[in-house]
A and B are shown apart, each in its own frame.
Chain A
Amino acid sequence: MKTKNWSVLQKIGALAGVVLVIFLPLQFTTPEITLPRGTGKPETPEKVTSILKRACYDCHSNETKLKWFDKIAPASWAVSSDIAKARSRFNFSDWDKLSPRDQQVLLWKIVNAVIAGKMPLKSYLLLHPEAKITVADIETLKKYVNSLPNNKPASDSAAVVAAMTADQERMNYHGKGGPVIPLPVALNGVSYVTGYQNWQVISTTSRFDNNTMRIVYGNDITVRAIQENHINPFPNGATIVKVVWNKIADKEGMIRAGSFNAAQVMIKDEKKYPRTGGWGFAIFNGPKLVPTGKTALFENDCFNCHKLQASDNGFVFNIPLKNSELAKK
């Protein structure tokens, strides 16, 4: 059989043909990236705004500035999908739609994602090196979030103590009578857990980003998994209850557990909760243990953060550090 020997010109011609036939029509398939006006941006200090604009705004705002190569299909499909996803998580252009409390929570999340090197995305930085966040930028962001209101514990005033006492009266303490029946259930099916006060305390934490302190309990399966370092993934049946209190600063400068804030629950069941790393999340708020969430999708908020920051820890933030990690402290 005679094989055809193509000249260089013929090869170039063929390639151009392929480009015309395949790539040119593709350019009309890129989903449109709209730039609506938005309702209001965050009022941050200039230094902070400039970092956010440089590193985050392309995806997390309506002020997207595409480079020429971002517009070429099929790469443009990924760009447009990333932007849609980023805007759905949070959008700086619609910042004022969030409550001041949610804005503050989000700012701490942003700073943490940046510190952990999870944001900006590495794939984005590859082609947009100007978005890189420096050590000095991180310090600026840290300083800013630390200056936000509501970071300070309430003082040991009569009003705070009265609120705490009222809580105490409403609560059934340490099994005295037991919790309200039926037990509250979150919209994803995770029920409030009783009897956790008999479990092992796995850690205690004090948060200066939201003025709360916590005690974290683990059931036997959790404790064994931690002891044997089988935490990635945690075994089915592992259950963690985190009891959260608002802080009170007393006259001696001690920070104490004040009014009851919430009980947060994580239950490991790979079959029941495959979309959220095998964990069922729930938060039961205030003395009435009102479950968080208007729809079952609330669990995405929990998981996104646990996934971003604690995926190497079986998606659990507050397990005790290894001795080798403690030795460095």
Chain B
Amino acid sequence: MKNKFLLFGVMALFAACGHSPEAQSEKREMFAAGGQKVITSFTDEKHGTMSILYGNAIALRNVLDNTGKVPGEAFTLVTWQQIPNPRWYGTNINGNVKSVETVSILASVHGDIPVVYNLVKGSLPEAYKDPKISSREQADFILSQRPSVFP
């Protein structure tokens, strides 16, 4: 009887969360950029990763005009493990998310424009996993990306 209750309890827990291990393993993950749009994408063949840089409306406008840092800009860099697409030999596709980094440009304080860098998820991309590299340099890497050409 006790076991039955336990079983019910476990089932209720899965039902409540909707995250049974089976459902979870069948799930296909897509990164939700929270309203930000794609600025550009790149792959790092040496470390087997692929990345998309997203930005908010201010960031999109400014990277296109190349105006430098503007308060209100927000960027998100998502880096995935690059894996072979099982349906086509010749294509790699994004796999698990390895890291999510954000950069925000704040309002200027006494002439300085503060840049806030955050590693939101995962560990630093291998390409700049060097203890000598400061978060400022990581932010600069993100801010230095040029936009892809969109029709």
Residue interface bits A176-214, CB-to-B below 8 A is 1, else 0? 100100000000000010000110111111111110010
Q: Is B85 an interface residue (CB 8 A)?
A: yes
Q: Is B68 an interface residue (CB 8 A)?
A: no
Known: A164-B149, A260-B151. A253 touches B44 (CB 8 A): yes
From 5 to 56 in chain B, residues with beta carbon under 8 angstroms from any chain A beta carbon are 24-33, 37-38, 40-46, 50, 52
Q: Indicate which residue in B41, B91, B94 contacts A320 across the interface (CB closer than 8 Å).
A: B94
Interface magnitude class on chain B: 35 or more
Which among B24, B42, B89 has the greatest number of chain A C-beta atoms within 10 A?
B89
Residue interface bits A254-272, CB-to-B below 8 A is 1, else 0? 1111011001000000000
Q: Is A326 an interface residue (CB 8 A)?
A: yes
Known: A197-B38, A200-B30, A322-B26. A210 touches B90 (CB 8 A): yes
A240, B147: Cα distance in complex, Å: 22
Q: Please, which residues of chain A bring their CB within 8 A of the CB of B111?
A: none
Across the interface, do A173 and B64 meet the contact criterion of CB distance under 8 Å? yes
Across the interface, do A197 and B150 meet the contact criterion of CB distance under 8 Å? yes
Across the interface, do B42 and A256 meet the contact criterion of CB distance under 8 Å? yes
State the main secondary structure of chain A at its contact with B: mixed
Across the interface, do B28 and A213 meet the contact criterion of CB distance under 8 Å? no
A256, B146: Cα distance in complex, Å: 10
Q: Please, which residues of chain B bring their CB within 8 A of the CB of A229?
A: 26-28
Q: Is A324 an interface residue (CB 8 A)?
A: yes
Q: Is B86 an interface residue (CB 8 A)?
A: yes
Q: Indicate which residue in B33, B44, B95, B150 contacts A174 across the interface (CB closer than 8 Å).
A: B150
Q: Is B81 an interface residue (CB 8 A)?
A: yes
Q: Is B127 an interface residue (CB 8 A)?
A: yes
From 90 to 113 in chain A, residues with beta carbon under 8 angstroms from any chain B beta carbon are 108, 111-112
Q: Please, which residues of chain A bring their CB within 8 A of the CB of B50?
A: 204, 206
Q: Indicate which residue in B52, B80, B95, B147 contacts A215 across the interface (CB closer than 8 Å).
A: B52
A289, B151: Cα distance in complex, Å: 8
Q: Is A313 an interface residue (CB 8 A)?
A: yes
Residue interface bits B52-89, CB-to-A below 8 A is 1, else 0? 10000000100010000000000000001111011111
Across the interface, do B90 and A204 meet the contact criterion of CB distance under 8 Å? no
Q: Please, which residues of chain B bring their CB within 8 A of the CB of A198?
A: 37
A112, B87: Cα distance in complex, Å: 8
Known: A256-B40, A325-B86. A173 touches B28 (CB 8 A): no
A108, B87: Cα distance in complex, Å: 13
Residue interface bits A40-66, CB-to-B below 8 A is 1, else 0? 000000000000000000000000000
Q: Please, which residues of chain A bring their CB within 8 A of the CB of B42?
A: 254-257
Across the interface, do A108 and B43 meet the contact criterion of CB distance under 8 Å? no
Across the interface, do B64 and A176 meet the contact criterion of CB distance under 8 Å? yes
Across the interface, do A254 and B88 meet the contact criterion of CB distance under 8 Å? no
Q: Indicate which residue in A192, A201, A259, A323 contacts B52 across the interface (CB closer than 8 Å).
A: A201
A205, B81: Cα distance in complex, Å: 11
Chain A residues within 8 Å of B, Cβ to Cβ:
108, 111-112, 115-116, 142, 145, 164, 167-168, 171-174, 176, 179, 192, 197-198, 200-210, 213, 215, 223, 226-227, 229, 243, 245, 252-257, 259-260, 263, 284, 287, 289, 309-310, 313, 317-327, 329
Chain B residues within 8 Å of A, Cβ to Cβ:
24-33, 37-38, 40-46, 50, 52, 60, 64, 80-83, 85-96, 127, 147-151
A-B contact pairs, 10 of them (CB 8 A): A112-B89, A115-B89, A213-B41, A223-B30, A257-B40, A257-B148, A260-B148, A309-B88, A321-B93, A329-B81
